[in-house]
Amino acid sequence: MKRLVLVLLLLCAGLQYRLWWGEGSLPDLWALKDSIQQQRQLNERLEHRNNLLEAEVDDLKQGMAAIEERARSELGMIREGETYYLLLEPEKQP
């Protein structure tokens, strides 16, 4: 009887070892779940960025307003017949 109890205890200890420290243990599972959650958050951020870029591409394909806005803001371009004014801030006296 004592041998049977000893064998069962050893079997239980072996299973507990695998559960807590072996390959595919609970800590490994928890780390994997955390990794999956982080990857999902990254995917959501990237999907949002892609949607914004896709909307910008569609806007650029369909109309001249977006192209004109970019030319004005990024390249400093003006239309023919417009007057460009450069406002300078006054110099600060020490």
Is 6 inside a domain boundary?
no
pLDDT tens string for the chain (94 positions)? Answer: 888 888 888 888 877 777 777 777 788 889 999 999 999 999 999 999 999 999 888 877 887 777 787 788 888 888 888 888 888 888 887 7
Q: What is the pLDDT of residue 74?
A: 84
* HSE-CB of 53 using CA atoms within 13 angstroms: 6
Number of domains present in the structure of the chain: 1
pLDDT at 14: 78
C-beta separation of 30 from 20 below 8 A: no
* pLDDT value at residue 75: 83
The confidence score (pLDDT) of residue 52 equals 95
Q: How far is CA 72 from CA 3, 11, 15, in A?
A: 88, 76, 69
Establish if 47 belongs to a structural domain.
Answer: yes
pLDDT in the model for residue 88: 87
State how far the Cα of 19 lies from the Cα of 88, in Å rounded to an integer.
71
pTM of the model: 0.51
Residue 83 lies in a domain: no
Report yes or no on 2 lying in a domain. no
With respect to residue 36, please indicate whether it lies within any of the assigned structural domains: yes
Domain span including residue 58:
31-75
